[in-house]
Structure 1
């Protein structure tokens, strides 16, 4: 089992979550579309060569984002990350993957 966490602009979170859930991620027992989300403020500065979805090259940008956390079976984690990257509005989405132990 893995845990997948990613950061996404709040207004686009549902679209990205649905794509990740469609890969089979976010299932716990007899439940699907399970996740936890936390609101926060992300920041970044696009550099030369970037094509930012939000903001301008060379300017520091602050965005209201959600951190979405969910679990994913090991056979689905690569598909879940691929779905995340395809659906995410940023050209370089920030995400984390951890292997979990079942105790």
Structure 2
């Protein structure tokens, strides 16, 4: 079992969460669509060669983003990561994956 954490702009949070759940994330026992989220402020600076969905080259951009956490079974991890990348509006979406021990 893995914990998947993604950082999603407010405008896309429900669309991206739906993609994650459809790919197999978020099931705990007899419950589906399980996640936890908190709103924060992300920042990034697109460099030359980037094609940013938000912001301008060489200018720091600040965006309200949701940190969304959910669980992913081993067999669905690759599909969940791919679904996240496809549904997310950013060219290079940030995410983290942690193996859960003892689950």
Is this a same-fold pair by TM over 0.5?
A: yes
Q: Give the CA deviation at 1:24.
A: 1.0
What are the Cα deviations for residues 31-51 of structure 1, in whole angstroms up to 9, with x where unaligned? 111000010000000000000
Report what 1:55 is aligned to: 55
Question: TM-score w.r.t. structure 2 length?
Answer: 0.97
Alignment of 1:19-34 (within 5 A): 19-34=19-34
Q: Give the CA deviation at 1:102.
A: 2.3
Report what 1:40 is aligned to: 40
What are the Cα deviations for residues 39-91 of structure 1, in whole angstroms up to 9, with x where unaligned? 00000000000000000011110000000000010000110000000100001
2:40 is aligned with 1:65: no
Report what 1:12 is aligned to: 12
Report what 1:82 is aligned to: 82
- Whole-Å Cα distance in 1 between the matches of residues 102 and 81 of structure 2? 22
Question: TM-score w.r.t. structure 1 length?
Answer: 0.97
- Give the paired residue count: 103
- Whole-Å Cα distance in 1 between the matches of residues 10 and 67 of structure 2? 9
Q: Which runs of 5+ in 2 are unaligned?
A: none
Q: Could you say what the CA RMSD is over the residues aligned between the two structures, in angstroms?
A: 0.7
